Structure 1
Amino acid sequence: MDPRNNTGISVFQLLGFSEGPELQPLIFGLFLLMYLITVFGNLLIILAVSSDSHLHTPMYFFLTNLSFVDICFTSTTIPKMLWNIQTQSKVITYKGCLSQMYFFILFAGLDVFLLTVMAYDRFVAICHPLHYMVIMNPRLCGLLVLMSWIMSVLHSMLQTSMVLQLSFCTEVEIPHFFCELNQMIQHACSANFLSNIVLYFAAMLLVGGPFIGILYSYSKIVSSIRGISSAQGKYKAFSTCASHLSVVSLFYCTSLGVYFSSAAIQSSHTSAVASVMYTVVTPMLNPFIYSLRNKDIKEALIRILLLHS
């Protein structure tokens, strides 16, 4: 296939998980169910926090932002996949592919930054409890979220602009269920060395940096908890960050697991299946983790259910 200028490409083929038509209804039903649970669960978290004045604190402000981002994160990939299965088509336009990739990178970056901000919030709450409301004032909380958006937008624009410089062949088949950045770069017909360098450098900087920040925050948190004399005090301090720690562990373990497994196995199909863990399963489980492990959220949800019953 001869390389063609990227403006000449009109469509890509998203191969998805399976070629077998008998599996398509099962895949459609499973992903539709997971998507609905993700949207409904995260909307409940947003509704619970916004309707309860007791939850108008920095921690829950960041949680509502995370829930909103998780809804957007899954909405960039799943609806298109469901539509393709329903219409028995694998086609996505060139512009649609770039748009999907842009918003996927944007919301994935926001997930990383918000989890880091929430770790800092827990660090201040446990290590500096007397100055918590002074340090985590509304202005700083808004600024932290705004900076997360700015850095995510800039990162997404950088990666998308690198793909725009690439040329693709006349027929492009992506062995994935969405336009994943690495797959786009690997399937370009033009030289992709610079794009690969930018991809891995940005990943190290924008994923490794926040991860180090989270580890530092929790090292200080653990040190402070160890200094508490009573067992009840230690439990209460740890319980305030248990939900966030569970979400962070789930997000990073699944995403790093996908990266290392795909690098070892060198199978695009395996990578597509494994990526479901952090693109679909993690956003779906986040509301359950926060509602089941958080007494305030549970009480707010119960009040909402009783009010509408």
Structure 2
Amino acid sequence: MGRFTGWVAAAALLVAGTNAFADEQAELVETSKAEAGLLIYSNLEPEFWTAALKKFNAQYPWIKVETTNMGGDLWEKYYAESSTSTRTADLILTAGVDRWLEFAEKGEIVDYVSPEASSLPDWSRPLPGLYTASVDPIIIAYNKFVVTEDKWPKSVADIAALAPDYKGKVSTYDAAANPFGLSLFWTWDQNHPEGWSQMEAIGAASRPERSAGTIRDKVISGEYALGMFLSGVNIPRLSAPEMSSIVGWAFPEDGTMLSMRGLALTKAASSPASAKLMMNLLLSRDGQIALAENGLTPYRDDISKEDVPYYSLTAIREQVGEENIFIVEYDPELMTNREAFSQKWSAAFFAKK
């Protein structure tokens, strides 16, 4: 009798939760009809939006969506516009640990609790109101014509061992000039506290670049033999038949970092209901799969490799092991120690060679 009563209570809670979600969704839909469209600032190329916008437009055809691809400039644009009450972003979708921490500190993130929140891992909600739209696995790459097959690297340790033989033909992020690059090296160091000698070996042979796209293109051309810490958004291009004969890539076996693409509703939003509807879609299983169509990596546990054209986080975990997945966290210690760590990095990568 007690077990039956428990089942009834659980069922009642489920129904209540479902009804509450339906009521909230209906209210958002009605409110959105009076809003003036949706403006999203992001660091995504237009093609990454195609499938998600198709789904969104099918459900909410009255909401006109405008997306941008502004990279790091979006923050200054938002601050300038919001300070003068000019129309600005309703949603922001981008990576960048330091900028999101600053944005939160300024009180610009709306602490909205999405109905999808309970289906997401805790780590994907690093700050109140800040969600993760997708994750970018950080990979290594190599030119197959420059590096012989018996030396194709599978780990950062392999690159460190190969580096002396490829002096001047190794590249990675310039962490002194690129905050994203600095967060990657910080995360690596936090998870390999005894392994900085590997970075010193790589640094002595490397020519750092500000952009992962530059590293990728120079590995493809053969100017660089080895590229370390490239974003996983390059996987579709590197996996194309015409490219895979030239360049190989791998999830590092000694640690595959995951960078989170943050997603948040802004305090200055003009269309908050429309923004919440978009956020809920992007965090849903269908929305994650839509974002993955052109190479972003979904992280929900209910999405497998078979659900997407490239990789899901579940598939990466199976390949490298849970113990070798490192989240690039929103660590305030990085902000506190930024200058000291940047100097440590520069000593390894810009010392006289």
Same fold (TM over 0.5): no
Task: Give the strand-richer structure, 1 or 2.
Answer: 2
Give the structure, 1 or 2, with the largest relative contact order (CA under 8 Å, sep 6 or more): 1
TM-score relative to the length of structure 1: 0.27
Relative to total residues, which structure has the larger helix share, 1 or 2? Answer: 1
